[in-house]
Amino acid sequence: MGKKFYITTAIDYTNGPPHIGHAYEKVLADAVARWFRLSGREVFFLTGVDQHGQKVQQSAERAGVTPEQFVKDVTAKFLELWERIDVRPDGWAETVDPRHKFVVRALLQQMYDAGQIYKKKTTGWYSVRQEQYVNDKDRNEQGEFGPEWGQVEEREEENYYFRLSDHAEWLQQFLASRPDAVFPANRHSQLVNSLADSGGMDLCISRPKSRLRWGIELPFDEDYVTFVWFDALTNYISFAGYRDPAPGTSGLPDFNDLWPCDVHIIGKDILIPAHGIYWYIMLHAAGLKDEEMPKLLVHGFWNLEGRKYSKSEAVEAKPLKVLKDLTPHGIADSVGKDGLRYFLLAEMTTGQDADLSEERILTRYNKDLADILGNLLNRTLNMARKYLNGVLVNTTHGSEMHQALRAAVTALPGRAAEHMSAWQIHKVLADVIDTARLANAFIDKTAPFKLAKDPANADAVASIMGHVIETLAHLSIILSPAIPSTATRIQEQLGWSPPAGFTLADLKWGLLPADHTIGQPQPLFPKVLPPAEAPGS
């Protein structure tokens, strides 16, 4: 068995329910995973939740529950959303898992034994009310710590530090030799440039338990827990079978089948320094070779009507005409799980920011999905039932228009593969919608509804229907990574589904047999309109 395609994402903080940024990243990863499966690769897709830390500890205290209970409840909300919108990972990372703690502690001990971790005393300003250290960027315009911080006092604290600076030169050389390590290229350059001013800094990796209890205890000092990154980043290997003490019986994948990871999908906020600096250096210090370093795919942020996305605004900011709110559930309630998935993947250019608005969501749904794709399927199947009794017939009829449609359809898999090699899934979707638009125009121009009036045109009508139905079968396959349940619904209506083991290489003209019988037409995407524009109002 060859190496699997290993794809993973940032793990989401469990200090609140999932929001649109979480949903985008997981849907993108899910679609990429499905795409590689369709291409014939074996795939392992890992995602999960990041459950430790100060914010969780504080939120749990406010909610009057233990941190264990708090993360359990929030984790259930993530799992419920992924289930609802067809995000189907092969592995699920929860940082409270004993398996994960084992790897984190083993890694820390290894670094400690190798002299990579040392203890140091520092002084800083500490806010008693917020239970955290503050620094100059927390000062207000008057240069003071505002009342929100309460009493701020100077404190001395001892912590453990990881010798990041020992590896700064290695990282520089590594990035210079691997321009493909970080996608898009502008993020790669940004990372390289950031190294110039981050030199000489080591990474604080601990918090005394007196301040933070909710974390993984350091293996070499029980008075401390690990702070954030040694815990969170390690998930990418701990749930991939790294240092599995019971390979083959633990239920974990075999690390050798997965590593090196083909792509970590992360947002732009956690490239520098977390993944681009800390993670590469941690792996290097753990003994991994340059060719074993993961590739990073860095996506942009969803803004909310031009402003930074804020969870509370997404829930409360109104007035909205149709949607309940702009949370993943609020959107899926109106336009369905595939309306949400399609919007997220079609609207964002991978790597850039995009804007979340009700208007854009409804336009994507009503125009692309309902008017173009849904309408194509529905009108075609209705005509095929009316004119051909639902049974395709082999015809010899053809024209330049037939050829043009056929050429567009058969070019799709190659074009899609090229787009996906640069993670441009929105272009794949744009191609599908363009092809559906072309098929609609083909129907309008060839006018089977007119031709059918004369029995002498039976051959011509059958060939038009046959071409469009074959086109729809192809579109269903190309769409299946992005909107899998719609792809299945299209196939059910066509009365065709790909045989087991079907891959992109099998996507050739002539999927449907000459005497194929189609299924029942059913509207795919009922229009979702503001009350004033809805028919009959």
- Cis omega (within 30 of 0) on the bond before 253? no
Cβ 240 vs Cβ 261: under 8 Å: yes
244 forms part of the interface with ligand MSP (CB under 6 A):
no
Residue showing the smallest CB distance to ligand MSP in the complex: 267
CB of residue 216 vs ligand MSP: minimum separation in angstroms? 14
331 forms part of the interface with ligand MSP (CB under 6 A):
no
Q: At what angle do helices 20-38 and 67-84 cross, to 10 degrees?
A: 50
Which residue among 17, 91, 267, 273 contacts ligand MSP (CB under 6 A)?
A: 267
Cβ 408 vs Cβ 402: under 8 Å: no
What is the C-alpha to C-alpha distance for residues 465 and 384, in angstroms, rounded to an integer?
6
Q: Which CB atom, from 240 or from 266, has the smaller least distance to ligand MSP?
A: 266
CB of residue 26 vs ligand MSP: minimum separation in angstroms? 9
CB of residue 452 vs ligand MSP: minimum separation in angstroms? 50
What the block records as the tokens of 6 is 């290993």
Which helix or strand (DSSP H or E) is residue 126 part of?
Answer: strand 117-127
CB of residue 283 vs ligand MSP: minimum separation in angstroms? 13
Q: Which CB atom, from 225 or from 443, has the smaller least distance to ligand MSP?
A: 225
Beta-ladder partners of 154? 125
Cβ 47 vs Cβ 11: under 8 Å: yes
CB of residue 294 vs ligand MSP: minimum separation in angstroms? 11
What the block records as the tokens of 27 is 């849907």
What is the residue whose two structure tokens read 């037409």?
521
The residue count for binding ligand MSP (CB under 6 A) is: 18
364 forms part of the interface with ligand MSP (CB under 6 A):
no
CB of residue 363 vs ligand MSP: minimum separation in angstroms? 20
270 forms part of the interface with ligand MSP (CB under 6 A):
yes
92 forms part of the interface with ligand MSP (CB under 6 A):
no
Task: Note every long-range contact of 310-317, with CB atoms under 8 Å and residues 24 or more positions apart, other chains counting.
Answer: 311/16, 311/19, 314/19, 314/20, 314/356
Beta-ladder partners of 119? 160
CB of residue 61 vs ligand MSP: minimum separation in angstroms? 20
What the block records as the tokens of 417 is 């593969």
Contact string 8-47 vs ligand MSP (x = CB under 6 A): --xxxx-------xx-xx----------------------
Which residue among 232, 297, 408, 425 contacts ligand MSP (CB under 6 A)?
A: 232
CB of residue 21 vs ligand MSP: minimum separation in angstroms? 2
Which residue among 266, 272, 285, 469 contacts ligand MSP (CB under 6 A)?
A: 266
User: What count of other Cβ atoms lies within 10 Å of the Cβ of residue 489?
Assistant: 17
233 forms part of the interface with ligand MSP (CB under 6 A):
yes
CB of residue 11 vs ligand MSP: minimum separation in angstroms? 5
Which residue among 309, 365, 423, 525 contacts ligand MSP (CB under 6 A)?
A: 309
Q: Which CB atom, from 152 or from 344, has the smaller least distance to ligand MSP?
A: 344
CA 345 to chain centre: 9
What is the C-alpha to C-alpha distance for residues 439 and 409, in angstroms, rounded to an integer?
10
Q: Which CB atom, from 278 or from 387, has the smaller least distance to ligand MSP?
A: 278
Nearest to 470 by CA among 507, 510, 436: 510
Q: Which CB atom, from 10 or from 432, has the smaller least distance to ligand MSP?
A: 10
Cβ 416 vs Cβ 519: under 8 Å: no
Q: Which CB atom, from 126 or from 279, has the smaller least distance to ligand MSP?
A: 279
DSSP 324: S
Q: In a 10 Å sphere around its CB, with 0-12 CB exposed, 13-18 middle and 19+ buried, how is residue 190 labelled?
A: middle
What is the C-alpha to C-alpha distance for residues 407 and 418, in angstroms, rounded to an integer?
17
Q: Could you tell me which stretch among 4-12, 96-104, 429-437, 508-516 binds ligand MSP (CB under 6 A)?
A: 4-12
272 forms part of the interface with ligand MSP (CB under 6 A):
no
269 forms part of the interface with ligand MSP (CB under 6 A):
yes
Q: At what angle do helices 185-196 and 168-177 cross, to 10 degrees?
A: 150
55 forms part of the interface with ligand MSP (CB under 6 A):
no
What is the C-alpha to C-alpha distance for residues 499 and 516, in angstroms, rounded to an integer?
15
301 forms part of the interface with ligand MSP (CB under 6 A):
yes
Binding residues for ligand MSP, rule: CB under 6 A, are 10-13, 21-22, 24-25, 50, 232-233, 266-267, 269-270, 301-302, 309
